[in-house]
Chains A and B, each alone.
Chain A
Amino acid sequence: MRSRQKELLELLDKSGADLYALLTRLTLREDVAEELMQELFIKLNNSRGIGNVANWNAYARRSAINLAFDWRRSHMRTILALGQVGEPVSNDDSPLGKLIHSEELTETLDAVGRLKKSSREVLVMRYLQQESYDNIAEQLGKTSHQVRALCSRAIRNLRNVLGSNEHESSKKEIHNVANR
């Protein structure tokens, strides 16, 4: 058995659940997360340019984030159109509440996907994976202060993106009402 395959199997045993949870949070669909999980490990196994990776866990985490947002970008137009809202993600029991919460989360994730790569990664690590600033700094090769600054800037950018989204959607609603 090759050494990389062995390392990846160990990684799968150690961090497979976390990676799958991360993919589920980013896609909001268990079936898609399952496929992306396979794809992630196949890519990690077959990719040539990796060389000796010191921290497979951090590398796999960042690859999973990129993979999930790539999937979101390629399926952005069909996610809601097909009604493929995934597993229950809200404590609200009513169907309307579930739908609203799902749409909010989808919107948030789409907005995160529109951020720069560095902002997106720190945002996911910090707020979705609840990792510490020191841990994130270690994974990204930065200081914790830099990571804090990046997180703050990422939140600000996300707020702007979401705000502009809501502004556009409200304009569309007004336009639709006026046309009626």
Chain B
Amino acid sequence: MSQIDENQIHDRLKRLSQVEPRKEATDRAIQKARDALMSEKAIPKLRLRLPHIVTKFAAAAVLMIGAGYIGGRLSAPEPLDVQELQAALEHSLKSSLEPAIRQELLSEMDDRWQSTLAVSNAKVKDELARQVRRDLTEFAAQTLAASGTRTEQRLMELIRLIEAARIQDRRRMASAFDYIESRFGNGLVTLAARTDELLDAERAGSVPDISEN
């Protein structure tokens, strides 16, 4: 318990109450306080003071951050084995990335093939069209040539047939004339002679009687 009694306390307090500053010290202190009051320091200055609540909030924030840090450190799991972590990461990455990479690669190859095939298809179409046009032109030329030859042959044959027909007609006409000459040759000469006499008589003014024939 207390080893000092109340009297001792009162004694000490009494001694404290008897402490008196020196007169010159008191005068000097009062003068300095007066000077301070009169000087510029006493003029109230616009001080930027943070509200008390801000200080309290800042202190609370610091405490919460500290508590969170300590809690995080305490509740943090033990450090992992680096190799195990690496293997796990590698496995995880492989399992998650490989299908995606494969799919991406396939789609990329498909795109490339499609673009290449599209270009090739256009070239093939163009080449095919040119070939068809060339073949058609050649075929048309051959057809025209064959047709010309055939036509010419037909015409020659027609001409030959016409010539043969004319020769045959001439022959028939000649035979007809021969026949006519053989049957009516003398009569015709007589007719021609009488016709000639009639014409002469007519020119002379007398018309012979031809009713006898």
Contacts and interface: CB of A to CB of B under 8 A. Distances in A.
Contact of B15 (A16, A45, A90, A123): A90
Contacts, number: 121
A38 B22 contact: no
A160 interface: yes
Contact of B32 (A38, A130, A166): A38
B29 interface: yes
A90 B1 CA distance: 28
B42 A5 contact: yes
A159 B6 contact: yes
A145 interface: no
A87 B30 contact: no
Contacts of A24: 19-21, 25
B29 A37 contact: yes
Contacts of A159: 2, 4-6, 9
A44 B29 CA distance: 16
B60 to A, nearest CB: 24
Given A8-B37, A41-B37, A158-B9, A25 B2 contact: no
A34 interface: yes
Contacts of A45: 37, 42, 44
* Chain B interface size, under 10 / 10 to 19 / 20 to 34 / 35 or more: 20 to 34
Contact of A42 (B13, B18, B42): B42
B21 A87 contact: yes
Given A20-B21, A21-B21, A105-B15, A163 B1 contact: yes
A129 interface: yes
B79 to A, nearest CB: 42
Nearest to A16: B30
Interface of B: 1-6, 9-10, 12-22, 25-26, 28-30, 32-34, 36-38, 41-42, 44-45
Interface of A: 5, 8-9, 12, 16-17, 20-21, 24-25, 28, 30, 33-34, 37-38, 40-42, 45-46, 48, 87, 89-90, 101, 104-105, 108-109, 123, 127-130, 155, 158-160, 162-164, 166-167, 170
16 contacts: A9-B34, A16-B29, A24-B19, A30-B22, A37-B33, A38-B33, A38-B36, A41-B37, A101-B15, A108-B9, A108-B12, A123-B13, A127-B16, A155-B9, A160-B2, A166-B3
